[in-house]
Structures are given as C-alpha cells and as structure tokens.
Structure 1
Amino acid sequence: MTEIDSDGAGALGAEANGARPSPHRHPAPGTPDLRRVGANPDFWYPVALARSVRSGQVFATAFAGERIALYRGKSGAVYALEDRCAHRQVPLSMGVVEGETLRCCYHAWAYRGDGRICQIPYLSKGDGRPPRGVRGYPVREAYGLVFVFPGAPEKAGITTLPELPYFDSVKYKTMTFSRTVRCHYSFMHENLLDMNHQYLHRGVVGRLHPELLEYRTGVRSTEARYLFTHTGGKRNRSAALLAAEGIGGRKSSDVMTIRTDYPYQTLDLVPENAERPALCLWAAYVPEDTEQRTCHAYGLLMIEKPSIRGALHLAWPFIRRFTERVFAEDRMAVEAEQRAWEEQGEDRNHEVFPLILDVRAVLRANGVPLRAETAGRACRTGGCR
C-alpha cells in the first residue's frame, strides 16, 4: 500500500491494510472535535428530490437549521426562499403558489422567487413597504435533485455542480436514494471510506476481505482503492447482479475506489478487465438541524446495463432490496456512534486506521465552526462536558 501526504511531497510506507496506528496523523491537542465542525455552506447541496417539488406546490426542507421553502412556478422553474414570512414569521412553506410568486397563507403577502415582496394586498400603491423581504437562495435542478447554495451568494456562480458523466449515459440506469440519518455527516464519510467494516454486512454479502491497495490525500480529498476477495458464506445474488460476477466473485477481482471530494463522496466498482465501472455511487450528506446531529443522505447509484436487454429492469427490485438492507445496517452503526458521542460529550474513538485519520483532517480543514450559540445549546442539553 502507498500513501501520499497532503501536499504530495513524498510517499510513506505502511502495512498492507494500514492497520498500524500513525501517530503523526492524530490531531494535536486543542484540535476541534470533528463532530462540532459544521458543513461548509459554500457548495451546492441537494435538499430535495426534483419529483418532490411539484408544480404549484411548496416543499419544506432545511440546511443546517436554516428552514427553506422550495416551490415550482407555473413556468416549471424551482425557487428557494427562507421559510418565513417577513411579516409575522409564519412559514412560507404553508403558502400558496401563484404563477411565479409565493403568497403567505396568513396575511397574503406575496414574494418573488428572489425573496422580494411584490404585494401586500391591503396596502395601496402609495403606502410604504418593508425595504427587504426574505432571503432567496441560488437554486439549480440537476440529476433529479434540487440543489441550493446556502453560502455567500456571490460564490454560487463560480462554484460548479458535481460532474456525474454516467448519469445521462444510455449504458447506465440510476437508482436514487433519499434517507434521513440521525448522525453528524462526518460519520457517513468515515463509514463508506473504511471498508474494514464489512463484517457488519456478513449476513447480506457473506464474508468479504477488503485489501487496501493504496490511498491518496489532498487538501480537499481522500481517495482509497480496495481489492475485494470473497472468503466464505452465502453470496448474495443481487451483489452479483450489481458487479458482473459479484463483489469478490471467483471469476473476477473487483477493485473499488472510494473518494471523499469535499463535501461529496463517490464510489466506483470496476470488475477485472472491464473498461468502465459496473457501478458508480455519488452521495451527499446534508445537515438538517442547527447542531448538525442529523443529516439527509442523497445517493445516486448508476448501474451498468448488462448485454441482455431488459435484464436490469427485471432485477431492479432485488437490487433495491439488497442496497436498502446494506444501508439499513450502516445507518444502525453510524446512529449508534452518534448516540455514544452525545452520551460521552466528546469523541472518544480510538481510531487506528491512517486513512480515516486523514479523511477526518480533510473534513475538519474544509468545514466551518458551529456557531457559538449552537455549542452553548448543546452543552445545556447534555451534549458536552
């Protein structure tokens, strides 16, 4: 295994599975607890499935405690507004869509898609109006998802959406996931990147041995390559459908590349001698509450179509069931980790895997501090010592 340090200055030797502790990677005293580091808002985050934002209706969502009202106007365009009326603070997600505007359900104040007030029905044209309405978020619709930019608005135009080249390919079919998980988003990054937890899934995929081939860490990313070998137990047929001969199949060696590219995460699985991935996963973990102890996981699983026409369509329900079982086990584990953190008031993990120590450093360096009032609230509710 080869590891590359964050500035690319050189290579460091390590054991085959990176299991030996790496003292130089442990955070120095005084380093912020990662579970108290917030997601950086200066990126595009998915906050809803596009099909959930129906024409003429309003959809309530959130990013890190900021409540957001999404609505689709008559033109089909999606708008994102701060979910409160500037008048009496009633949620605009309870409002009514009229053309391209959103009208509050209480006193019928109307808002344009940029958040400006365009009508107060009981005031005449000569009467004064509040100088400001509510915040309007930059919004884009792509890959069947609605993305908002919760950070500095001037950065939205120079920040790109993630690129998913296989999403529109006729050679792939996409399965979409949308699930709430009661944990800090960092637990999700660590869970997917650390394939040494396959014992958790022994009842679903049998016994798999992941060998870490190499990993690389940069300023905003950590990437790992694993080789999987099936070592016993019943092999799941749905796993075989996902990856040609199956994950760790006897006739092929499956190389899995997992990458945290802040703030997103990807996974590619390439069977031996294949020209392209058998499957690609893109995921984003969007914090919902102010303390960021709950996140919403959005995932796009792009699966290569087999040569037999219609075979993937027939197998789709079985693949869905398989992936849901794996995700349910992962969710059980990360939510247990979050509960332990809340009970102990700090991160007491004895992490020994250098790869995970690296991704923690990436998440910490690219995140933002939680607001002081948030930390104080966590202490008052027993979340710190």
Structure 2
Amino acid sequence: MVQTNEKATHLSDNIYSLKVPTDLRKVGLNPNFWYPLAQAKDVKIEKPYAVSFAGNPIVLIRTKSNQLFALENRCAHRQVPLSMGIVCGNTIQCTYHAWQYNQTGKVTKVPYLPQGCSLPKGVKSYPCQEAYGHIFVFPGIPELAETVAFPEIQNWSNSNYKTMYFSRQVNCHYSFLKENLMDMNHQFLHRRFMGKVKPTLVENSKGDNWVEAKYKFSGEPHLSANLVLAPGRKETSELATSDFDIMTIRTEYPYQILRVCPSGSDLPFLDLWVSYIPIDREQKRNHSFGMLMIRQPKIPGLIHLLWPLMRYFTGVIFAEDKMIVEAEQTAYNLQGGDWNQEVFPVLLDVRELLTKKGVPIS
C-alpha cells in the first residue's frame, strides 16, 4: 500500500455532490498500467495463449527457453490469429502462410517472398513480464512501461501466508465490481453466511489516485465465515462473535486492495489484491484476477485442512457478487444509461476517481 501524506477525513468533514457528471459505465480502464492478463500456469511452453484487453486481441507466447513475449493476436497478412500459429525458437509462425514474427512483432520471414523484395510491416508488441503467478502486460503506450510502477503485492512471497488465486469472467463493466468491493453495506446480499453482521464505516480518505475506506463490523457471522476470518488469529478457537477487526479497502487506481487487521496491528490476516480486466471493446465484460493471502495459524497444517472450506466460502460470496453486478449491468443495458442514485460517500469518491483516471471508450 502506497504511503501518502494526505490527511484522512471523517464523514462529517466531507461535502459530496450526489451525482458524477460523466456516465461512469462509458469510461474505459486506462491502458497505461501493468495488468494481469493470464495466470502463469495457463501459458504453456510453445503453446500460444489468446487474451484480450478492451477488445484488443493479444497473444502471449512462452518459448522453449522460457522467454515471454506478447504481440497483437493477428497476422499482418490476412488477420488470422497468431494464437493459432506455431512457436519456432524465439519466433511465431502464422498457421496460414507461415509468416514469421519475432518478439518485437517484426516480420522476419515470408517463405515465398520473391528475392529482393522488402519484408512487410509487422504487428504491435507489448511489454510483458511474469510475476505473482501471473503474466502482466502493459497494453498502453509501450514507451511508458518503464515509467509506470509495477504492482507491489507485499505478502505474496511471505511464507507465513498461503495464497488463494481467483480467475473468473464477469459480464459487467469493471466499475460495478470496484463499487461492490468498496461498499460493505451490501452484506445483506450475503446473509446466508454473514448472518447478522453489521458494517460501520469509521473513516474514509482519498488522494490523487486512491480512495480508502475503513470498516468495523459487529454481529455474528456463520461458523464457516468465521473459519475464513479467524485462521490467522492466535488460535482458531478465538472466533469473532461480537466485534470484528478493522477492514481496510483501498482503490488505488487501477487496482484494489482489501486487508483485515487485528485492532492496533498493521499485520493483516486477510490480504486481497484484485484487478478487473475489460475484455470487449464496449467494456461490458471483464476478467477478474485476484490473490487472497491468508495468514497461517500457529497450529501446523491447520490451514490445509481448512482450505477446501475457505475455497467454498469465498466461491459462494463471489458467486453472489457476480450475480448482483451482472444484474446491475443488465439494468444499465435496458435503461440505456446510468440511473443509479448513489448516496454513499465512499462510492461517490470512487466514481469520481474512476471517471478522472479513466479514458473514453472508443
């Protein structure tokens, strides 16, 4: 989490307008950042892998020597996807006429080109690198890649944590999911597991590229929810029954972070990092990539016994969130615009941030 000097403000200190002037659902995700476009395990050696960012087709290629590169997923000749092609050394050949491209997208060989003729123009290449079990691509202006900070996910390599990975397609504009995560007032949706849990916003703050909210919870969650919330505490028997710890949720454009820490400690027992990648050109579908780092309990091996239950619980919660945000997208499509009457200060800040940092959808 980036340290800032901006002063946190309490609810009574802020004055909010109730409407963002721009239709947020027509704001595209800014491409000039590093985004996970695939889980690393899915990109096999010499098996081209097709992905997309906002309707722009991209192919990820891992060579036999484990070198990675990313190109436009089209042959400059007849526009056939290069993901259908053959990897040869450090190049890829189109499956149609065997045009060959190197890691920069330059055409290096056309088998039947008459001698003395210049090679045709190639395709766009994208900066990419493997990190945190994912393949990250910079889909914007390539020259900016070295100037834009790469995501820092602090607890991913910490041996005291076990990481749960998420990779799911959701049929909605990415902003619906960002709002959903920031707004803990929707726990009624998860009433089957969260029981009588009541969230209270205790502080919200914002900066030039971030919005942060801190919540405290009270009430009794279902036992299975408690097992997910509790494994990083001293012992599993110390389950929360009346007063949860502090949950901090931060939208630091374009990513989101959620952390649950014991009172008075900065060491989280739940640490989530998530990014929503628009798939289609209208950005009404996205691919959600997430990593949930869970601090291991002191009892050796306990987290492995609890892991299937944790996976089930998080899957159910995500399925409910997916259902509701897709319903929001359906309503938006039918209405032809954003009719939302948002009144929650945190979401008004988030909507303003996403509008300010985003780009027009072309």
Contact 2:16 2:345 in 1 (8 A): no
Residue 36 of structure 1, CA deviation: 0.2
Contact 1:48 1:145 (8 Å CA) reproduced: yes
Q: Identity rate of aligned residues, in percent?
A: 47
Q: Which amino acid aligns with 1:88?
A: R
Paired amino acid for 2:354: L
Q: Which residue of 2 aligns with 1:287?
A: 278
Is 1:42 aligned to residue 32 of structure 2? yes
Counterpart selection for 1:108 from 98, 115, 125: 98
- 203-212 or 228-237, which moves further after superposition? 228-237
- Work out the CA distance in 1 between the residues paired with 2:130 and 2:150: 10
Distance 1:235 1:120, change over 3 A: closer
Q: TM-score, normalised by structure 1?
A: 0.88
TM-score (norm 2): 0.93
- The structure-2 alpha-carbon separation of the partners of 1:110 and 1:162, relative to structure 1 and needing over 3 Å to count, comes to same
Instruction: State how 1:204-215 maps to structure 2 within 5 Å.
Output: 204-215=193-204
Retained in 1: the 8 A contact 2:209–2:252? yes
In the other structure, the counterpart of 2:296 is 305
Gaps of 5+ in 2: none
Q: Which runs of 5+ in 1 are unaligned?
A: 1-6, 16-21, 372-385
After superposition, give the CA deviation of every residue in 1:142-165 in whole Å (9 maximum; x if it has no partner): 000001111111100111211011
Give 1:126 deviation, angstroms: 2.5
Superposition deviation, residue 250 in structure 1: 2.6
Counterparts of 2:90 and 2:349 in 1: how far apart (Å)?
46
Do structure 1's residue 119 and structure 2's residue 117 form an aligned pair? Answer: no
Structure-1 residue corresponding to 2:80: 90
In structure 1, what residue type is equivalent to 2:72? E
Secondary structure, in 3 states, of the residue corresponding to 1:265? strand
SS of structure 2 residue aligned to 1:236:
helix
Q: Secondary structure at the match of 2:57?
A: strand
3-state SS in 2 of match to 1:14: helix
Task: Give SS of 1:85's match.
Answer: coil
The number of residues matched between the two structures is 357
Work out the CA distance in 1 between the residues paired with 2:16 and 2:229. 40
Helix, strand or coil for the counterpart of 1:25? coil
Check whether the contact 1:239–1:246 (CA below 8 A) recurs between aligned residues: no
Q: Does 1:265 align with 2:263?
A: no
The yes-or-no answer on 1:27 pairing with 2:19 is yes
Please say if residues 230 and 238 of structure 2, whose CA atoms lie closer than 8 Å, have aligned partners that are also in contact: no
Question: 1:47: Cα distance to partner?
Answer: 0.5
* Deviation string, structure 1 residues 305-354 (Cα, Å, up to 9, x no partner): 11111111121111111100000000001000000000001111111101
**Cα offset for 1:65?**
0.3
What CA distance in whole angstroms lies between the structure 2 residues aligned with 1:242 and 1:363? 34
Residue 99 of structure 1 and its aligned partner are, at CA, apart by 1.2
Asked whether the 8 Å contact 1:53–1:70 carries over to 2, the reply is yes
Q: Is the 8 A contact 2:220 2:242 kept in 1?
A: no
Cα pair distance change 1:79/1:219, threshold 3 Å: same
C-alpha contact (below 8 Å) 1:247/1:254 kept by paired residues: no
Once the two structures are superposed, residues 225-283 of structure 1 have per-residue CA deviations (whole angstroms, 9 ceiling, x without a partner) of 00011247666353344553699813763110000000000000012355510010000
Looking at structure 2, the residues matched to 165 and 133 of structure 1 have their Cα atoms a distance apart, in angstroms, of: 39
- Matched letter for residue 24 of structure 2: L
The reply on whether 1:168 has 2:157 as its aligned counterpart is yes
Query: Structure 2: how far apart are the matches of 1:347 and 1:227?
Result: 30
Q: CA 1:68–1:356 in 2, change beyond 3 Å: closer, same or farther?
A: same
Over aligned residue pairs, what C-alpha RMSD do you find?
2.2
Amino acid at match of 1:302: M
Shift of 1:114: 1.1
1:182 and 2:171 correspond: yes
Question: Deviation per CA, 1:71-102, whole angstroms, max 9, x where unpaired?
Answer: 10121011111010000100001011111111
Q: Structure 2 residue aligned with 1:14, among 3, 12, 15?
A: 12
- Distance change (3 Å), C-alpha of 1:323 and 1:9: closer
Q: Give, in angstroms, the shift of residue 201 of structure 1.
A: 0.6
Q: Answer yes or no: is 1:230 the counterpart of 2:215.
A: no
Aligned pair in 2 of structure 1 residues 317, 10: CA closer, same or farther (>3 Å)? closer
SS at match of 1:214: strand
Query: Partners in 2 of 1:338 and 1:90 — Cα distance?
Result: 32
CA distance in 2, matches of 1:176, 1:164: 13
Which position in structure 1 is the counterpart of 2:323? 332
Amino acid at match of 1:329: E
What SS does the corresponding residue of 1:238 show, helix, strand or coil? helix
Is the Cα–Cα contact under 8 Å of residues 251 and 257 in structure 2 kept in the other structure? yes
Residue of structure 2 equivalent to 1:79:
69
* 1:35 CA displacement: 0.2
- SS of residue matched to 1:89: coil
Counterpart position of 1:375: none
State which of 58, 78, 81 in structure 2 corresponds to 1:68.
Answer: 58
Q: Distance in 2 between matches of 1:23 and 1:142?
A: 41
1:308 and 1:10 map into 2 onto residues whose CA distance is 37
Instruction: Specify the SS of the correspondent of 2:303.
Output: helix
Q: Which amino acid aligns with 2:322?
A: R
Aligned to 1:321: 312
Partner SS for 2:166: strand
Alignment counterpart, residue 128 of structure 1, candidates 118, 128, 132: 118
Q: Distance in 2 between matches of 1:146 and 1:11?
A: 37
| Inter-CA distance 186–128: structure 2 relative to 1 (3 Å threshold) | same
Q: Is the 8 A contact 2:174 2:283 kept in 1?
A: yes
